[in-house]
Amino acid sequence: MATTAIAQPEPVGAVSHEARAGKYLSFQLGTEEFAIQVLKVREIMGIQHITAVPHMPSDVRGVINLRGRVVPVIDLRLKFGLEEMEYGQRTCIIVVQLQKDSTVQMGIIVDEVSEVLNLAAADIQNTPDFGSEAAPPYLLGMANVKGKVKILLDIDEILTGSEFGGIRELLHSTPSVN
Amino acid sequence: MAVHDHDNPARNAIAERIESLATELLVRGEEAAAEGWAETLRTIAREAATAGGVAVAAVASELAAAAEDTQGAAVSAGIARLQAALESWDTASRAQSAVAWETDAGGLVADPELLSDFIVEAREHLDSVEARLLEIERDPTDRDAIHSIFRSFHTVKGLAGFLELKGVRDVAHEVETVLDLVRESRLAMTAAVVDVVLASLDYLNTCVRALEASGPAAEFSDPAALLLRVRAAAAVSEPAAEAAPERPETDAEPAASAAVAGGKQAAKNGAARARAVKIDTDKLDYLVDMVGEMVIAQSLIQYDPDLHLERQPRLARNLSQLARITGEVQRTTMAMRMVPIAGVFQKMARLVRDLARKFGRQVEFESFGGDVELDRNIVEELADPLMHMIRNALDHGVEPPEERAAAGKNPSARVRLRAMHQAGQIVIEVSDDGRGLDRQKILAKARSQGLVTGNSELSDSEICNLIFQPGFSTAVQLSDVSGRGVGMDVVRKQITKLRGSIEIHSKPGAGTMFSLKLPLTLAIIDGLVVGVGEHRYVIPIFSVRELLRPSAEAVSTVENRAEMLLIRDRLVPIVRLYQKFAVEARATRPEDAVLVLAEFDGRSFCLMVDTVIGKQEIVIKSLGSMFQKVAGVAGGAILGDGHVALILDPPALFGKGSER
């Protein structure tokens, strides 16, 4: 494992191994496991009434009332171009606090929340090669926990960036890391 | 008082003087005491200023002026303040004795606390001076006002001297000299004198602003020219025509209400300072937000069906008590953000005066209702539009005196500002008795600008409303205050932004009146909650004119596209909300739906919705940057059940979603 990581060139703008270590909240989206830094998570709640806002892309489901604050909610499945799924008992809204603008909170809808992982720097490896391209900035890396691969996301980049073409390729390419 | 244990002789001398005054007060009683104190107090002020006791100096000089007017009670009450100031000086000097005594005063300007105290105090005084000056101009014999101005300049001089703000001190000193002559009736308060004092006031205001912006490093322009002007004014020793012992009852005079409010404020300064607390506006806004939440949370509980209130009278009673209290808390919090409009009116009074000079008009300015209170944010945003309207009134509306006389009018025109409450809104009227809007000229101009095409017949009010069109300006000559083509459309934009509306009433030859309608506050609106399918939306009530259930015959379709509703011989376009927002609706035919007749900027349209759910007070929430560009949505509101509803923006809904 470690050798593969060293053999790969450091992606441009990638966070150093040390900074990537820490606690992650992992969640499920389709068949994949993703994780985001716990530091950025404000709270996790079950699915609730979402007020639709017109003229918005389909992944922007609308707004919710978070204790008096109006917070936008984004369906991560749709954001990543996955198939839409009906919300159920296990569907969760993870409210995250964006670091770029500390006053902005956003909710992301995921299939289900799994667990909090404590990842050491050695557990995290760089993302596999995207051919000639550098890894997109929203990917922090990958972690292998008990035989399952978790994709570590930089949620700031996901919610403020606009280009997610790479994510589907990544989903297809993940088995090769194992 | 253990006053002699300090090794600062100047301070000890002052302390001794103050103590002897206090003793004298005890012995001789309040009435007699004030006699002959002015001199002593002034000495104290001077000594304190040189020794570094800025608070003592300020209080003493204020008292000196009061003593001169033989206001015994004020002076005796002031002695306690003087002692308090002395004590706080002791504390301060103990903390920073080495710095305060040894360094030059330049170091004192660098003390941010002293500097900000100076800025606050100087500004209070300068504001009151402006109000008083305008009173004097109306009634040059108002001794009260002259005394008050004199005191203010005196205090500013004292403070500035202490901080070694040389320019400020010199200007204040020279003005004080002029005012002293006026006080002693050796100089008449002519318009020229008022001009000079106003010019000095402007200079001082600039200095204060510069200090506020860039701190002690602020640079001032050289006041030399101004000083010469002031001295020249003082040199024209022309005695006042009459001493006028009796002064008019300014308080009872509504015409001066705005100015008087300012003046009174200054007079009550001492008392007001003790009773008012300065609060960071961010904290206040946060408090208002949280109180809004509390009210929502309270109503969530009160209307919770799980509580079965009908079976629990005691709980119901307690909850309604809670509702009353939260309502009261909300009202009080909102009131904390309210400020009287008098401050803005006062600025306008000054503007009218300056512009009248500039344009060679004779104008009497009146303002009513300066005590009407508005949300602080609105008052701040209101100054610019009012300024534009006043400029227009003086430049375009009011005729030169000769022309007025020829038309059989009073050569002196009347420009009036009036604020009042009306149906939960604030109405502000800006009126003049000038020549009124020139319809011909407006129409010709609009044609040449391409704003009106063809030979379309326009109604009188439509012609008047043309002046709100972007790029419209009838000024033949470009002056530096109006006629830049960014006049009234900017005004209307600004007023609309404040969720207000503007109307014109104009009679040729008789004058023009602009009437602004504004909400009391920006944070809360009355909203009409409507339903479309399973969605709920809020329409601001101020744009709703009526609710209709149309008959099928009243609806006609133009060119298979635009639907129109015939109401009272008028065709009004229909906008289907469910189509605009691409949502499912229950009612897809106008005769099954409810039409909300909305009006803005003199245009109206019908918004088609399924149902009207009710009217509700709504706390407006921003949707955040993500939804900034959503056409037709002005914000979000949290309804009684805790769900978010979108607040609609009727003009944008009607404007094909492009006007935002």
Please compute the mean of the pLDDT values over residues A152-176 and round it to a whole number. Answer: 66
Q: Enumerate the H helices of B34-165 as residue ranges.
A: 37-51, 54-68, 72-95, 97-102, 106-109, 112-138, 143-162
The pLDDT, as a whole number, for residue B593 is 92
Q: Mean of the per-residue pLDDT values for chain A? A: 79
Q: Mean of the per-residue pLDDT values for chain B? A: 76
| pTM of the complete model | 0.52
Structure tokens at B282: 């961010």
How do residues B81-108 score in pLDDT, each as one tens digit? 777 777 666 655 444 433 333 333 445 6
B124 close to B140: Cβ distance less than 8 angstroms: no
Phi then psi for residue B358, to 5 deg, are -60, -45
Judge whether residue A5 has pLDDT over 60: no
Best-predicted range by mean pLDDT (A15-29, B27-41, B431-445): B431-445
The pLDDT, as a whole number, for residue B282 is 77
The pLDDT, as a whole number, for residue A25 is 95
Query: Which residues from B are below 8 Å from A55, CB to CB?
Result: 581-582, 630-631, 657
Of the pLDDT bands very low, low, confident and very high (cuts 50, 70, 90), residue B536 is: very high
Q: What distance, in Å, lies between the first and last C-alpha atoms of chain A?
A: 9
Q: Is B43 helix (H, G, I), strand (E, B) or coil?
A: helix
Nearest CA in chain B to A53: B646
Please compute the mean of the pLDDT values over residues A126-133 and round it to a whole number. Answer: 63
Of the pLDDT bands very low, low, confident and very high (cuts 50, 70, 90), residue A168 is: low
Phi then psi for residue A98, to 5 deg, are -75, 140
CA dihedral B284, B287, B293, B295 (to 10 degrees): -100
Judge whether residue B375 has pLDDT over 80: yes
Structure tokens at B283: 């904290």
Task: Kindly report which listed range (A88-97, A151-160, B93-102) carries the lowest average pLDDT score.
Answer: B93-102
At B611, which helix (H) or strand (E)? Answer: strand B611-619
The length of chain B is 660
Three-state SS for B258-295 is HHHHHHHHHHCHHHHHHHCCCCCHHHHHHHHHHHHHHH
Which residue is listed with tokens 């509390």? B294
The pLDDT, as a whole number, for residue A163 is 58
A16 vs B169 pLDDT, higher one: B169
Which residue is listed with tokens 């009838």? B474
Q: Between chains, do A54 and B645 touch, taking CB under 8 Å as contact?
A: no
Judge whether residue B136 has pLDDT over 90: no
The pLDDT, as a whole number, for residue B529 is 94
Cα B143 from Cα A104, distance rounded (Å): 58
Judge whether residue B257 has pLDDT over 70: no
Q: Between chains, do A55 and B622 touch, taking CB under 8 Å as contact?
A: no
Share of chain B above pLDDT 90, in %: 9
B245 vs B233 pLDDT, higher one: B233
Q: Between chains, do A63 and B636 touch, taking CB under 8 Å as contact?
A: yes
Judge whether residue A74 has pLDDT over 90: yes
Which residue is listed with tokens 């044609």? B447
The pLDDT, as a whole number, for residue B500 is 83
Please compute the mean of the pLDDT values over residues B405-418 and round it to a whole number. Answer: 89
Cα dihedral B522, B528, B533, B534 sign: positive
Q: Is B429 helix (H, G, I), strand (E, B) or coil?
A: strand
Strand pairing report for A148-153 and A32-37: parallel
Best-predicted range by mean pLDDT (B175-179, B238-242, B461-465, B547-551): B547-551
The pLDDT, as a whole number, for residue B183 is 79
Share of chain B above pLDDT 70, in %: 78
Please compute the mean of the pLDDT values over residues B137-154 and round it to a whole number. Answer: 80
Please compute the mean of the pLDDT values over residues A147-176 and round it to a whole number. Answer: 69
A15 vs B521 pLDDT, higher one: B521
Task: Kindly report which listed range (B51-60, B114-123, B351-360, B639-648) carries the lowest average pLDDT score.
Answer: B51-60
B35 touches A at CB < 8 Å: no
C-alpha closest to that of B407 among B433, B438, B430: B433
A4 touches B at CB < 8 Å: no
C-alpha closest to that of A92 among A135, A161, A140, A45: A45
Please compute the mean of the pLDDT values over residues B401-416 and round it to a whole number. Answer: 88
Q: Which amino acid is at B634?
A: A
Cα B193 from Cα B304, distance rounded (Å): 69
Q: Between chains, do A69 and B621 touch, taking CB under 8 Å as contact?
A: yes
Best-predicted range by mean pLDDT (A107-121, B142-156, B256-270, B646-660): A107-121
Judge whether residue B596 has pLDDT over 90: yes
Judge whether residue B228 has pLDDT over 70: yes
Which string of DSSP letters, residue by residue, matches A126-159?
PPPPBTTBPPPTTEEEEEEETTEEEEEE-HHHHH
The pLDDT, as a whole number, for residue B45 is 76
Please compute the mean of the pLDDT values over residues B204-216 and round it to a whole number. Answer: 79
Q: Between chains, do A104 and B644 touch, taking CB under 8 Å as contact?
A: no
Judge whether residue B484 has pLDDT over 50: no
Task: Kindly report which listed range (A40-54, A132-146, B522-536, B565-579) carries the lowest average pLDDT score.
Answer: A132-146
The pLDDT, as a whole number, for residue B163 is 76
Nearest CA in chain A to B635: A70
Q: Between chains, do B632 and A53 touch, taking CB under 8 Å as contact?
A: no
Structure tokens at A22: 């820490």
Strand pairing report for A105-110 and A69-75: parallel
Cα A134 from Cα A165, distance rounded (Å): 13
The pLDDT, as a whole number, for residue B63 is 74
Phi then psi for residue A114, to 5 deg, are -95, -70
The distance of A77 to chain B (nearest Cα, Å) reads 19
The pLDDT, as a whole number, for residue A138 is 81
Judge whether residue B212 has pLDDT over 60: yes
Cα B183 from Cα B244, distance rounded (Å): 12
Starting at the earlier edge strand, list the strands of the sheet with B363-368.
B363-368, B413-422, B425-432, B511-519, B501-507
Q: Between chains, do B621 and A67 touch, taking CB under 8 Å as contact?
A: no
Judge whether residue B584 has pLDDT over 70: yes
The pLDDT, as a whole number, for residue A92 is 94
Starting at the earlier edge strand, list the strands of the sheet with A124-125.
A112-119, A22-29, A32-37, A148-153, A139-145, A124-125
Q: Return the exposure string of B249-258: e unless at least 16 CB atoms fall within 10 Å of the residue's CB, then b.
A: ebeeeeebbb
The pLDDT, as a whole number, for residue B538 is 94
Which residue is listed with tokens 């600008």? B449
Q: Which amino acid is at B117?
A: D
Nearest CA in chain A to B634: A53
Q: What angle do CA B70, B73, B78 make, to 5 degrees?
A: 100
B267 vs B117 pLDDT, higher one: B117
The pLDDT, as a whole number, for residue A177 is 39
Judge whether residue B493 has pLDDT over 60: yes
Query: Which residues from A are below 8 Å from B646, CB to CB?
Result: 51, 53
Of the pLDDT bands very low, low, confident and very high (cuts 50, 70, 90), residue A37 is: very high
Task: Kindly report which listed range (B144-153, B239-248, B373-382, B572-581) carries the lowest average pLDDT score.
Answer: B239-248
Facing residue for B644 by CB, picked from A64, A104, A106 = A64
What is the DSSP secondary structure assignment for residue B468, as one 8-state letter? G
The pLDDT, as a whole number, for residue A110 is 94
C-alpha closest to that of B385 among B257, B198, B515: B515
Is residue B184 exposed (0-12), middle (13-18) or buried (19+ Cβ within 10 Å)?
exposed
Share of chain A above pLDDT 90, in %: 30
The pLDDT, as a whole number, for residue B218 is 67
Which residue is listed with tokens 């404040």? B498
B118 close to B159: Cβ distance less than 8 angstroms: yes
Reported in sequence order, the residue ranges of A17-172 that DSSP labels E, i.e. its strands, are 22-29, 32-37, 41-46, 60-66, 69-75, 92-97, 105-110, 112-119, 124-125, 139-145, 148-153
